[in-house]
Amino acid sequence: MVTLAAIFPPSQPPERLGAVAAAAEAAGLAQLWIWEDCFSESGIATATAILAATGSVTVGIGLLPVPLRNVALTAMEIATLARLFPGRLTAGIGHGVQDWMSQVGARVESPMTLLREYTTALYALLHGDRVTTHGRYVHLDGVALDWPPAVVPPLLVGGIRPRTVSLAGELADGVIIPGGMSPGDVRASAGHLRGHRGAGRGPADVVVFAGAPADGPAAAVAATVSEYARAGATHVAVNTAERDADLERFTGFLGREVRPLVG
């Protein structure tokens, strides 16, 4: 069964977080997704605010751009959140927008190499391992978390191209597919992901970001969500297409009107 979620995009001011999170919880929506865009909002701070303001809503961070963040710091932040709110967090990481990475002096010559090294190290740190690695970009010398998560959150990788989807299948717990992808694209990526599943990894999550008009109708939105589910999505996070839409109302609409229609 697919999990229906709403999106709180970084185009919205952070002071709206509390009201949107409350609307999601009141409407019975299980999950909110956020992400870290330059130069909008911190993914970790945003996730913390939502988790602290709600009692049952889970939060997906999709995604944190790895060139901006030392892997040990990311591990510390995710582990802290996971211990404070066990079982309520999913963490996503990715290449980041390369133009933005250039603006802050963080662009690397090989984003794929960085993502591979980073995902490997972060996964190990979150699982309580002591990590020593000296790669092209990631350097750790006997690093282990003092407070690793008691409930390790799923670690996902964002991407649509075959190399990145393969990496997600091999090294992480699933993939985040950004908006604008058709169900056929999702089906191809889901098959590619599962075909490259790393040994010992459990079932892979396939998170799809989708757009929908703020005024419904609910049946049409539910049909889109169900189509992505048939294509292999395990989670569908929906964003309203209108920048100035009433996000609290839209989130409630997803929970009260769309969710009961999604099979």
Q: Lowest-confidence range among 76-80, 153-157, 204-208, 241-245?
A: 241-245
φ/ψ of 234, rounded to 5, equals: -100, -25
Give the pLDDT of residue 263. Answer: 65
Query: Rounded to an integer, what distance in angstroms lies between the CA atom of residue 249 and that of residue 233?
Result: 25
Report DSSP state, residue 179. Answer: T
Whether residue 32 is predicted with pLDDT greater than 80 in this model: the reply is yes
Span between the terminal Cα atoms of the chain, in Å: 7
Name the residue among 38, 94, 32, 35 with its Cα closest to residue 62: 35
Spatial CA neighbour of 48 closest among 4, 89, 16, 11: 89
DSSP class of residue 28 equals T
pLDDT confidence of 1, banded at 50, 70, 90? Answer: confident
216, pLDDT greater than 90: no
Pairwise CA distance, residues 168 & 166, whole Å: 5
pLDDT over 90 percentage in the chain:
86
59 forms bridges with which residues in the sheet? 32, 89
Percent of the chain whose predicted confidence (pLDDT) is above 70? 98
- Domains of the chain (ranges; CATH) run 3-261 (3.20.20.30)
Give the pLDDT mean for 143-168: 96
Q: Which of 15-19, 39-43, 85-89 has the highest mean pLDDT?
A: 85-89
What DSSP character marks residue 48?
H
- Exposed / middle / buried, residue 3 (Cβ in 10 Å: 0-12, 13-18, 19+): buried
Q: Which residues of 152-184 are buried (b: 16+ CB within 10 A; e: fewer)?
A: bbbbbbbbbeeebbbbbbbbbbbbbbbeebebe
Other CB atoms within 10 A of residue 251 CB: 27
For residue 242, pLDDT over 80 is answered with no
How many whole angstroms separate alpha carbon 246 and alpha carbon 250?
6
Indicate the range of 18-22, 68-72, 118-122, 213-217 predicted with least confidence. 213-217
- Average pLDDT for 150-178: 95
At residue 200, does pLDDT exceed 90? no
Instruction: State mean pLDDT over 175-202.
Output: 87
- Residue 243 CB neighbours (<10 A): 9
Over residues 97-117, the pLDDT tens digits come to 999 999 999 999 999 999 999
Closest CA to 49 of 93, 4, 15: 15
* Closest CA relative to residue 10, chosen from 135, 73, 114, 100: 100
Q: How far is CA 63 from CA 88, 132, 140, 219, 257, in A?
A: 16, 25, 23, 29, 28
Q: Please report the pLDDT score of residue 201 as a whole number.
A: 74
pLDDT at 241 over 70: no
Strand, helix or coil for residue 208: strand
